[in-house]
Amino acid sequence: MAHILHIDASPRAERSISRNLSKDFVKRWQAVHPKDTVTYRDLGHHPVPYVDEAWIAAAFSPPTEHTPELTEALRISNELIDELLAADRYVFGVPMYNFNVPAVFKSYIDQIVRVGRTVAIGPDGFTGLAQGKKLLVIAASGSVFRPGTPFAPYNFHEPYLRTVFGFIGITDVTFINADGLNNSGEAREHSLAEAQKAIQTAIANW
């Protein structure tokens, strides 16, 4: 039995492609794995705060020195990290905005990438502390950014997510892309059909 952390980052509701696809994946997954449990967080509609000066002061000082203000500054970060580490698998619906992740998801990342909690510093450098877990990212974009396409050099979304989650130890990362969504008609429908097919494949092999 596994525990899944499901996160959506789109500010859209029923019109969101990434949100609908991530929901569909989790629904199908639970039909095959009914004993698995899911925690859901909606960053698109309930964003977490940006890192501020109090957060930095608290994160880089011993807990024994924390004032009530500094303890409170890390409360949400601790909650998010506990939630992250409690999960075995992750399903993240993350659209591409301006070639990278939405600001709400970057804010989430800044809250969970923390020395002493999700990454350690030792004699040999950094070690991720969230190892042995699997991440599925369901991405949506208006254009096509796949390797070999004209817009591939503008894709900072997938490389960034692979890098930052690999930094905290999550290196088993799968991407499902619903792209070219600014197209109309057959091209758009083909992309969505390919994403649905990839979801079915992931359910069988993830």
**List of domains in the chain:** 3-205 (3.40.50.360)
Token pair, residue 120, equals: 């350690």
pLDDT tens column, 144-177 = 999 999 999 999 999 999 999 999 999 999 999 9
Euclidean distance between CA atoms 90 and 96, whole angstroms? 18
Query: What's the confidence (pLDDT) of residue 187?
Result: 87
Euclidean distance between CA atoms 111 and 35, whole angstroms? 30
Euclidean distance between CA atoms 97 and 101, whole angstroms? 6
Token pair, residue 117, equals: 């909690």
Instruction: Quickly count: other Cβ atoms within 10 Å of residue 35's Cβ.
Output: 7
Mean pLDDT of all residues belonging to the chain: 97
| Short-list 79, 76, 99, 94, CA closest to 8 | 94
Euclidean distance between CA atoms 20 and 28, whole angstroms? 12
Across the range 166-194, mean pLDDT stands at 94
Residue 36 has pLDDT above 90, yes or no: yes
Euclidean distance between CA atoms 193 and 17, whole angstroms? 12
Query: What's the confidence (pLDDT) of residue 189?
Result: 93
- Judge whether 111 and 43 are in contact, CB under 8 Å: no
DSSP label at 172? E
